[in-house]
Amino acid sequence: MIEFKNVTKSYDRKNLVLKKIDFKIKTGEFVVLIGESGCGKTTTMKLINRLIDPSEGSIFIDGEDISKVDPITLRRRIGYVIQKEGLMPHMTIGENIELVPKLLKWEKEKRKARAYELLSLLNLDPEMYYEKYPHEVSGGQKQRVGIARALATNPDIILMDEPFSALDPITRESIQDEVLKLQKELGKTVIFVTHDMDEAIKLGEKIAFLKDGEILQFDIPDEILKRPTSEYIEQFLGKDRIWKTPKKLLVSDIMSRHYSTIDKSSNISRAYNLLKAHDSDFLVVTEVEGGKHEEPIGIIFRKNLIYAMENNILRVRDIMDKNFITIDKDSNLLDVLNKMSTLNAKVIPVVDDKNRLTGVITNLGLVNAINKIAPTPEIEGEEVEQIGEAL
Ligand SMILES: Nc1ncnc2c1ncn2[C@@H]1O[C@H](COP(=O)(O)OP(=O)(O)O)[C@@H](O)[C@H]1O
Ligand SMILES: [Mg+2]
């Protein structure tokens, strides 16, 4: 675990570049620092491997105050990857990767074996690349070598400062995928800096949002997307972002908990009174009285009740709509839209993993939920059609 406790940093004793930074990164976690240029991302990174020291406050790694650890010893536990991969131009790729192992006086054979292993790990054929010079390979390959070098001595923490910002989008996608896979396989703690929200969402288990030397929000990507804590973050995210990731919007986020239930053996007039009292259009029918957490067995609408009264049908169970669908609370917005449109459902009871009623999704509720989450959604294409169809 890496822990910042009340860390401030100023370079000139006047301007605070970091103001009382307080956060914890768990072992094995992939944490992304994001924010505009100059907000203090690089400064935060450099404090971790003691390229600089805090003006106030302390940083702990696994409970140990790092100001008491020799920086060289500390850095052996911490790999560092920077934007311009920082390879030595006059050294081969092999020599670049073996730089630190060599300083640590590893035998040549052991060093080479490690370099080969790492090149393979990063999808670079060692036979082909070991002897090459940095200028002979592409930007993406150089960046892979930069990562290999950071992993050389098997550190448990990796710092990555905007490592992919100079890469073209396609190379960038594939190298992001590789880093994610690697981090999972190797179980490293990664602190990754970017100013690109898409990259942050894709990579981060947690995202720390920085502005002017302060952490505005530190949370899982879903939470930041759904509930940004400030207007600044909201703007940074772009209000339409949720529409780019409708899979992240879960039924439990958009369902309504305001609904009434009635048991199947109740009579129609009781159902009608209940509807009137709650100014509702429908009731969810359950097996027993007050069965909020029971399995839903039917739905009854106002028009069914009127029909029942006109035709002397006495019991709820004889008129309820049994051909309804339910949806799991962990499904996402796209699943809801699909179900609503293909089955032409007006009300969908939401159930938990034990098939117990936990909420409902209605057309109107859906619109309201959507409006609340994205006040002025700029939605396009498929999703608009699906919503149009669903309502
Ligand atoms: N060595 C330094 N001396 C003085 N000011 C610095 C130094 N390094 C960074 N700064 C200032 O600290 C602020 C944060 O910088 P930095 O952490 O590099 O931002 P980021 O990585 O988020 O773009 C900036 O205003 C920058 O100008
Ligand atoms: Mg920076």
Give the CATH number of the domain where residue 294 resides: 3.10.580.10
Those residues whose beta carbon sits under 5 angstroms from the ion ligand 2 are 41-42
Using 50, 70 and 90 to split pLDDT, how confident is the model at 168? confident
Question: pLDDT (tens digit, 9 = 90+) per residue, 104-154?
Answer: 899 999 999 999 999 998 889 999 999 999 999 998 899 899 999 988 988
Which residue's CA lies nearest to atom 12 of ligand 1? 17
Residues 143 and 267 reside in one and the same domain: no
Question: pLDDT (tens digit, 9 = 90+) per residue, 290-310?
Answer: 666 789 999 999 999 999 999
Q: For residue 219, what are the β-bridge partners?
A: 207
Q: Is there a domain that residue 245 lies in?
A: no
What is the mean predicted confidence (pLDDT) over 324-336? 89
* Cα–Cα dist 355/40, whole Å: 48
Question: pLDDT (tens digit, 9 = 90+) per residue, 194-208?
Answer: 988 889 999 999 999
Residues 22 and 171 reside in one and the same domain: yes
Query: Which ligand sits nearest to residue 34's alpha carbon?
Result: 1
Strands 189-194 and 157-161: parallel
What is the mean predicted confidence (pLDDT) over 202-229? 93
> What's the pLDDT score for residue 372?
57
312-344 core/surface letters (b: 16 or more CB in 10 A; e: else):
ebeebbebbeeebebbbbebbbebbbbbbbeee
Tokens of 50: 């003691």
> What's the pLDDT score for residue 6?
96
Q: Which residue has the higher pLDDT, 128 or 345?
A: 128
Q: Is the dihedral of CA 271, 272, 276, 280 positive or negative?
A: positive
Last residue of a domain, one of 207, 239, 271: 239
End-to-end CA distance of the chain: 48
Q: Is there a domain that residue 246 lies in?
A: no
Q: Is there a domain that residue 346 lies in?
A: yes
**Widest Cα–Cα separation across the chain:** 94
Q: Which residues line ligand 1 (CB under 6 A)?
A: 11, 17, 35, 37-43
Residues 230 and 277 reside in one and the same domain: no
Compute the distance from residue 324 Cα to the ligand 1 centre, in Å: 59
Atom of ligand 1 nearest to the CA of 40: 17
Question: pLDDT (tens digit, 9 = 90+) per residue, 227-272?
Answer: 899 989 988 887 556 556 667 778 887 888 888 899 999 999 999 9
Query: Which ligand sits nearest to residue 40's alpha carbon?
Result: 1
Give the number of other CB atoms < 10 A from CB of residue 301.
18
Task: Give percent of the chain above pLDDT 90.
Answer: 53
Residues 275 and 233 reside in one and the same domain: no
Compute the distance from residue 54 Cα to the ligand 1 centre, in Å: 13
Measure CA 268 to chain center.
48
pLDDT reading at 283 higher than 90: yes
pLDDT reading at 381 higher than 70: no
Using 50, 70 and 90 to split pLDDT, how confident is the model at 375? very low
Tokens of 325: 């669908």
Tokens of 231: 């207007």
Measure CA 94 to chain center.
36
Task: Give percent of the chain above pLDDT 70.
Answer: 90
Q: Which residues form the domain of 212?
A: 2-239
Residues 78 and 163 reside in one and the same domain: yes
* Cα–Cα dist 94/239, whole Å: 46
Q: Is there a domain that residue 262 lies in?
A: yes
Residues 295 and 374 reside in one and the same domain: yes
Question: pLDDT (tens digit, 9 = 90+) per residue, 62-121?
Answer: 999 999 999 988 988 999 988 776 888 999 999 999 988 998 899 999 999 999 999 998
With the most atoms of ligand 1 within 8 angstroms of its CB, the residue from 10, 11, 80, 193 to mutate is 11
> What's the pLDDT score for residue 290?
66
> What's the pLDDT score for residue 31?
97
Length of the chain equals 391
With the most atoms of ligand 1 within 8 angstroms of its CB, the residue from 18, 43, 214 to mutate is 43
With the most atoms of ligand 1 within 8 angstroms of its CB, the residue from 10, 17, 195, 215 to mutate is 17
Compute the distance from residue 29 Cα to the ligand 1 centre, in Å: 25
Q: Is there a domain that residue 247 lies in?
A: no
What is the mean predicted confidence (pLDDT) over 23-30? 96
Q: Is the dihedral of CA 294, 296, 299, 300 positive or negative?
A: negative
Averaged pLDDT of the chain: 87
Residues 158 and 35 reside in one and the same domain: yes
Residues 56 and 83 reside in one and the same domain: yes
> What's the pLDDT score for residue 377?
38
Residues 283 and 198 reside in one and the same domain: no
Last residue of a domain, one of 218, 239, 260: 239
Residues 140 and 271 reside in one and the same domain: no
* Cα–Cα dist 233/231, whole Å: 5
> What's the pLDDT score for residue 386?
46
pLDDT reading at 342 higher than 60: yes
CATH number at residue 201: 3.40.50.300
Task: Write out the chain in H/E/C secondary structure.
Answer: CEEEEEEEEECCCCCEEEEEEEEEECCCCEEEEECCCCCCHHHHHHHHCCCCCCCEEEEEECCEEHHHCCHHHHHHCEEEEECCCCCCCCCCHHHHHCHHHHHCCCCHHHHHHHHHHHHHHCCCCHHHHCCCCHHHCCHHHHHHHHHHHHHCCCCCEEEEECCCCCCCHHHHHHHHHHHHHHHHHHCCEEEEEECCHHHHHHHCCEEEEEECCEEEEEECHHHHHHCCCCHHHHHHHCCCHHHHCHHHCEHHHHCECCCCEEECCCEHHHHHHHHHHHCCCEEEEECCCCCCCCCEEEEEEHHHHHHHHHCCCCEHHHCCECCCCCEECCCEHHHHHHHHHHHCCCEEEEECCCCCEEEEEEHHHHHHHHHHHCCCCCCCHHHHHHHHHHC
Full-model pTM: 0.67
Which residue's CA lies nearest to atom 20 of ligand 1? 38
* Cα–Cα dist 95/112, whole Å: 9
Q: Is there a domain that residue 318 lies in?
A: yes
Residues 143 and 286 reside in one and the same domain: no
Quick one: CA torsion of 312, 316, 322, 328, rounded to 10 degrees? 160
Residues 137 and 256 reside in one and the same domain: no
Domain count, the chain: 2
pLDDT reading at 384 higher than 60: no
> What's the pLDDT score for residue 391?
42
Using 50, 70 and 90 to split pLDDT, how confident is the model at 390? very low
Last residue of a domain, one of 206, 239, 272: 239
Q: Is there a domain that residue 118 lies in?
A: yes
Angle at 355 between CA 352 and CA 360, to 5 degrees: 60
* Cα–Cα dist 363/238, whole Å: 26
Q: Which residue has the higher pLDDT, 167 or 216?
A: 216
Q: Is there a domain that residue 383 lies in?
A: yes
> What's the pLDDT score for residue 171?
81
pLDDT reading at 383 higher than 70: no
Compute the distance from residue 17 Cα to the ligand 1 centre, in Å: 7
Nearest CA-CA partner of 164 in 280, 321, 285, 32: 32
